[in-house]
Amino acid sequence: MSSDIVKRVLAGDRRAVARLITMIENDGDEARRALADLYPYTGQAHIVGVTGAPGTGKSTLVNELAKVYRGSGGQPAHSPRTVGIIAVDPTSPFSGGAILGDRIRMRELSGDPGIFIRSMATRGSLGGLARATADAIKVLDAAGYEVIFVETVGAGQAEVDIAKTAHTTIVIQAPGLGDDIQAIKAGILEIADIFAVNKADREGADNAVMALQMLLDLDHASRPTLHHGVMMGEEASTNESDSGPAPSQEQGWRPPILKTVALHSEGIEAVVEAIEAHLMYLKESQTLYQRERERIESELNDILQQELMRRLLDRVKEGELDDLIQRIGRRELDPYSAVRRLIEGEQFA
Amino acid sequence: MSSDIVKRVLAGDRRAVARLITMIENDGDEARRALADLYPYTGQAHIVGVTGAPGTGKSTLVNELAKVYRGSGGQPAHSPRTVGIIAVDPTSPFSGGAILGDRIRMRELSGDPGIFIRSMATRGSLGGLARATADAIKVLDAAGYEVIFVETVGAGQAEVDIAKTAHTTIVIQAPGLGDDIQAIKAGILEIADIFAVNKADREGADNAVMALQMLLDLDHASRPTLHHGVMMGEEASTNESDSGPAPSQEQGWRPPILKTVALHSEGIEAVVEAIEAHLMYLKESQTLYQRERERIESELNDILQQELMRRLLDRVKEGELDDLIQRIGRRELDPYSAVRRLIEGEQFA
């Protein structure tokens, strides 16, 4: 049952982890078998999504967070934990190359055997990338990495996919990148568990914080019960108690808004505390179970879709697809009828 | 064969067009039948994708372009054409509401019966939105709109999907939104047919233009033959001839970089000229045929995927999916094996 690579991944062998992720990117049968074998060993890691527009300083912030978790930051609040970092760039769908600055971060962090860094770019569809990322997370999880950061360029569906995969999602904003309310995309309110306003030493940081607060107020005003506990910078991270009882399932979680200057390692501990507080909230409120259920449902859906297509295309005769495309191009056939023909032809062949 | 709504859409009835697009959003069988009937009448419109980050002034630019095409701009270069505008917001996947500023633009443009405006937001998956947008384009095309603008918040996969659907894709940049090379996403080079640097009266516009030029130079340097013809603002739009023969299939198209101040209607005619020049290039170089083929291929793929899922889920027994999700959650079953079971169960049931 268990192949060599599965055993090596379970033993935490870094080269096996890297190789299996490459196999996943290349979408081979062997990778699928290995993932099935690894699956029982997953579900241990805390998966933290980090998303933000280009220029917000995502990579720097993730690096700093990783350092705190490794105990090499200022004052680690807990014992060191192993960290996996997956940097996903869904905005370079064609190039498929490494991400700028990747080599720099590697140099800074890769000396530590408790950190594994991998960047992934789209090869094929975004669906393929989201799929491959979810599978890479499983590999790191099974290999024993305790905190896994999945870092993505904030970009519509990619953010949503991260939110589906992650337990905790950090949305990074930065001053001067369009801080007005209109520029803050509606969707992020639904996915953000923690807001980090990075580059907070720049002009406009307070405006960015205020804009986010206003949005949160608008959003929460429409909900039955409120939990007011905006954290501002490091000092405010514990003064949540003035508005009533602790967060609960009924009250929900109000995303804290934290100022950071990742480049100077400022405000990082507060973010780590918020990550830990959010995990605690997820566990206590049973939201973790709900999120896990939704994640599995969406993953099952993705795999199903992919597998159905593979099976159908395996059966379509050579040249048949080409012929259909030509006829649709000449407007002799519409794509809906062509699809019906492809599927039903398959069944009666 | 032809239902009432199909006849009315073909006659250009605005209310029928609006109703059919709503039916498409709701993903009904009737919509699919109507689209199949309309299909032979499609393929006439020039589809222009417009994409850019929030705050770049997309909507304003599209409005100005529409005015020029309608002959209400400065000096229309040609006879008025009917214009369809589809504004897609893939970044609000949850809200599904109307886009901010939508009502303002409606008021400004909707008095003209030669313009049809529709905004679409995600209901369900992004795949669903891309699908619905492609179908809405067909409706406008069959209804006789000659130029169809599809405007999307620049966001990874959404941009790519637009590029697949559009004949001509305009990528909008604006100064001060992160102009450095690193912030310009690699993918846009592959999808942009025209660059508009909007808000060009602001500081940093020349830097944005230079950054784009550098990127284009880097990109084109690696290709066998070059076509140097960067258009800068309005004056430069015709001095393309100094670098050799006219664009051809072998030489390719170098995206012009045009400065605009959409708010003050500046530089808009040059963009219209570039759009027309690009269409001419597509036709002369046979690239139009190639693009159309790729578009059909990708569309067929999407519809096939959707239809396979629908058929499978129709056959899955009540509670079966739920049971599988529970078992995956308990790590008793991995999702790959669950999918195999679902598909093979279907075949032998």
Contact predicate B90/B158, CB 8 Å:
yes
Higher pLDDT, A179 or B280: B280
Q: Report the distance separating Cα B260 and Cα A138, nearest Å.
A: 47
Q: Which residues of A touch B36 (CB under 8 A)?
A: 334, 336-337
Q: How confident is the model at residue A25, as a pLDDT? A: 84
Q: Which residues of A touch B95 (CB under 8 A)?
A: 186-187, 190
Helix (H) or strand (E) holding A340: helix A335-348
Q: How confident is the model at residue A207, as a pLDDT? A: 86
Q: For chain B, which domains are there?
A: 40-286 (3.40.50.300), 302-348 (no CATH)
Lowest mean pLDDT among A146-150, A288-292, B71-75, B302-306: B71-75
Q: How confident is the model at residue B105, as a pLDDT? A: 62
Span A51-56, average pLDDT: 81
Query: From A336, which residue of chain B is nearest by alpha-carbon distance?
Result: B36
Q: Which of B339, B341, B343, B346 to mutate to test the interface with A (most CBs of A within 10 A)?
A: B339
Q: How confident is the model at residue A100, as a pLDDT? A: 47
Span A15-35, average pLDDT: 88
Dihedral sign, Cα of residue A143, residue A47, residue A64, residue A53: positive
pLDDT higher than 60, residue A77: no
Exposure string over B240-276, b if 16+ CB within 10 A, otherwise e = beeeeeebeeebbbbbbbbbbbbeebbbbbbbbbbbe
Q: How confident is the model at residue A245, as a pLDDT? A: 36
CB of B340 less than 8 A from some CB of A? yes
B130 falls in which pLDDT band (50, 70, 90)? Answer: confident
Q: Report the distance separating Cα B61 and Cα B271, nearest Å.
A: 10
**Nearest C-alpha of chain A: how many angstroms from B99?**
10
Q: How confident is the model at residue A153, as a pLDDT? A: 74
Residue B305: CA count within 13 A, CB half-sphere: 20
Helix (H) or strand (E) holding B89: strand B83-89
Report residue A196 as tokens: 């980090």
Span A107-127, average pLDDT: 72
Could you report the per-residue pLDDT of A130-155, keeping only the tens digit for each?
788 899 999 999 999 999 999 987 65
pLDDT higher than 70, residue B244: no
Q: How confident is the model at residue B228, as a pLDDT? A: 37
Higher pLDDT, B344 or A137: A137
Query: Is B55 in Cβ contact with A342 (below 8 Å)?
Result: no
CB of B298 less than 8 A from some CB of A? no
Q: How confident is the model at residue B321, as a pLDDT? A: 87
Helical H runs in chain B? 4-10, 14-25, 29-38, 58-69, 102-109, 126-142, 157-165, 186-191, 205-221, 268-284, 287-315, 320-329, 335-348
Lowest mean pLDDT among A208-212, A239-243, B177-181: A239-243
Pairing assessment for the beta strands A147-153 and A83-89 based on DSSP bridges: parallel
Higher pLDDT, B113 or B194: B194
pLDDT higher than 80, residue B256: yes
**Nearest C-alpha of chain B: how many angstroms from A238?**
31
Report residue B308 as tokens: 């396979």
Q: Which residues of B touch A348 (CB under 8 A)?
A: none
pLDDT higher than 60, residue B137: yes
Q: How confident is the model at residue B111, as a pLDDT? A: 77
Q: How confident is the model at residue B125, as a pLDDT? A: 46
Complete DSSP assignment for A242-273:
GGSSPP-TTT--PPPEEE-BGGGTBSHHHHHH
pLDDT higher than 50, residue A241: no
Q: Which residues of A touch B327 (CB under 8 A)?
A: none
C-alpha closest to that of B213 among B257, B271, B272, B163: B257
A vs B, Cβ pairs < 8 A, gives 201
Radius of gyration of chain B (CA): 22
Q: Report the distance separating Cα B112 and Cα B263, nearest Å.
A: 20
Q: Across the interface, which of B182, B296, B301 has its CB nearest the CB of A100?
A: B182
ipTM: 0.74
Q: Which of A10-14, B190-194, B310-314 has the highest mean pLDDT?
A: A10-14
CB of B39 less than 8 A from some CB of A? yes
CB of A267 less than 8 A from some CB of B? no
Higher pLDDT, B101 or B314: B314
Q: How confident is the model at residue B270, as a pLDDT? A: 97
Residues 6+ apart with CB under 8 A from A335: A328, B39, B296, B299, B300, B303
Query: Is A339 in Cβ contact with B304 (below 8 Å)?
Result: yes
Q: Across the interface, which of B100, B126, B304 has its CB nearest the CB of A157?
A: B126
Q: Across the interface, which of B157, B304, B335 has its CB nearest the CB of A303?
A: B335
B318 falls in which pLDDT band (50, 70, 90)? Answer: confident
Which 3 state secondary structure label does DSSP give A116?
A: strand
Higher pLDDT, A239 or B101: B101
Query: From B37, which residue of chain A is nearest by alpha-carbon distance?
Result: A334
Span B173-183, average pLDDT: 61
Q: How confident is the model at residue A93, as a pLDDT? A: 42
Span B105-127, average pLDDT: 71
pLDDT higher than 90, residue A176: no
CB of A142 less than 8 A from some CB of B? no
Strands (E), A11-145: 46-52, 83-89, 115-121
Q: Report the distance separating Cα B229 and Cα A341, nearest Å.
A: 46
CB of A157 less than 8 A from some CB of B? yes
Q: Which of A181-190, B194-203, B209-218 has the highest mean pLDDT?
A: B194-203
Q: Across the interface, which of B90, B311, B325 has its CB nearest the CB of A296?
A: B325
CB of B36 less than 8 A from some CB of A? yes
pLDDT higher than 60, residue A349: no
Span A219-241, average pLDDT: 42
Give the whole-number percent of chain A exceeding pLDDT 90: 39
CB of B244 less than 8 A from some CB of A? no
Q: How confident is the model at residue A16, as a pLDDT? A: 96
Query: Is B312 in Cβ contact with A337 (below 8 Å)?
Result: no
Which 3 state secondary structure label does DSSP give A2?
A: coil
Query: Is A183 in Cβ contact with B325 (below 8 Å)?
Result: no
Q: How confident is the model at residue B37, as a pLDDT? A: 94
Q: How confident is the model at residue A222, as a pLDDT? A: 54
CB of B28 less than 8 A from some CB of A? no
CA B329 centroid distance within chain: 39
pLDDT higher than 60, residue A347: no
Q: Which residues of B touch A183 (CB under 8 A)?
A: 54-55
Query: From B322, which residue of chain A is nearest by alpha-carbon distance?
Result: A297
Q: How confident is the model at residue A234, as a pLDDT? A: 37
Query: Is A299 in Cβ contact with B54 (below 8 Å)?
Result: no
Contact predicate B54/B174, CB 8 Å:
no
pLDDT higher than 90, residue A59: no
pLDDT higher than 50, residue B241: no
B273 falls in which pLDDT band (50, 70, 90)? Answer: very high
Q: How confident is the model at residue A28, as a pLDDT? A: 74
Q: How confident is the model at residue B238, as a pLDDT? A: 36
Interface of B with A in 44-103 (CB under 8 A): 53-55, 90-95, 97, 100-101
Could you report the per-residue pLDDT of B27-86, keeping only the tens digit for each?
778 888 999 999 999 999 999 999 887 778 888 999 999 999 998 655 545 678 999 999
CB of A244 less than 8 A from some CB of B? no
CB of B127 less than 8 A from some CB of A? yes
Span A102-106, average pLDDT: 56
Pairing assessment for the beta strands A257-259 and B147-153 based on DSSP bridges: unpaired
Q: Which residues of B touch A97 (CB under 8 A)?
A: 186
Give the whole-number percent of chain A exceeding pLDDT 70: 73
Contact predicate B117/B110, CB 8 Å:
yes
CB of A124 less than 8 A from some CB of B? no
**Tokens 């029928």 — which residue?**
B16
Q: Which residues of A touch B176 (CB under 8 A)?
A: 176
Query: Is B329 in Cβ contact with A93 (below 8 Å)?
Result: no
> Which residues are registered as beta bridge partners of A272?
none
Q: What are phi and psi of A251, to 5 degrees?
A: -80, -25
Higher pLDDT, B96 or A63: A63
CB of A127 less than 8 A from some CB of B? yes
Query: Is A157 in Cβ contact with B90 (below 8 Å)?
Result: yes
Higher pLDDT, B191 or B115: B115
Helix (H) or strand (E) holding A150: strand A147-153
**Tokens 């896994």 — which residue?**
A148
Q: How confident is the model at residue A156, as a pLDDT? A: 57
**Nearest C-alpha of chain B: how many angstroms from A338?**
8
Q: How confident is the model at residue A135, as a pLDDT? A: 92
Q: Report the distance separating Cα A158 and Cα B157, nearest Å.
A: 8
Could you report the per-residue pLDDT of A303-320, keeping only the tens digit for each?
888 889 888 888 888 788
Mean pLDDT score of chain A, rounded to an integer?
79
CB of A36 less than 8 A from some CB of B? yes
Contact predicate B69/B272, CB 8 Å:
yes
pLDDT higher than 60, residue A167: yes
